Amino acid sequence: MQSKSRLFTLLALKEQLVVGYKIGYERKLGHFYSWLGGVDPSFRKQGIASELMRRQHEWCRRNGYRSVRTHTKNKWRDMLILNIRHGFDIIGTLTDAKGEAKIILEKKL
């Protein structure tokens, strides 16, 4: 996290408990990278990830970013579907250090 520029983190809290989070940073000038995110299993399907994404994109627009990019894998199906439902397009694939395929998604803001 220390090596990333313009890191932006959102937390979803239930009283003192962190039940969801979303972390991203500046990929290059005007382009944001949504890095990590998740929702506690007992708090899923209530719209928390969708709200975190909506607020991340709103922050990005207000801060001059024109696109947001993210990577995911086929096995993280819920996140893949969530991204597509929220307007991301699949723009390519790459192979990670473990030899697994990663899906590259991007959304114009």
Ligand X SMILES: CC(C)(COP(=O)(O)OP(=O)(O)OC[C@H]1O[C@@H](n2cnc3c(N)ncnc32)[C@H](O)[C@@H]1OP(=O)(O)O)[C@@H](O)C(=O)NCCC(=O)NCCS
For every residue of 51-81, DSSP letters joined together read: HHHHHHHHHHHHTT--EEEEEE-TT-HHHHH
Residues 76, 88, 34, 64, Cα dihedral to 10°: -170
Residue type, 96: D
**Would you give the binding string for ligand X spanning residues 28-67, x where CB under 6 A is met?**
---------xxx----xxxxxxx-----------------
The yes or no reply on residue 76 touching ligand X (CB under 6 A) is: yes
Size of the site for ligand X (CB under 6 A): 17
Considering only 23, 60, 68, 79, the residue that binds ligand X (CB under 6 A) is: 79
Positions touching ligand X (CB under 6 A) are: 37-39, 44-50, 72, 76, 78-79, 81-82, 85
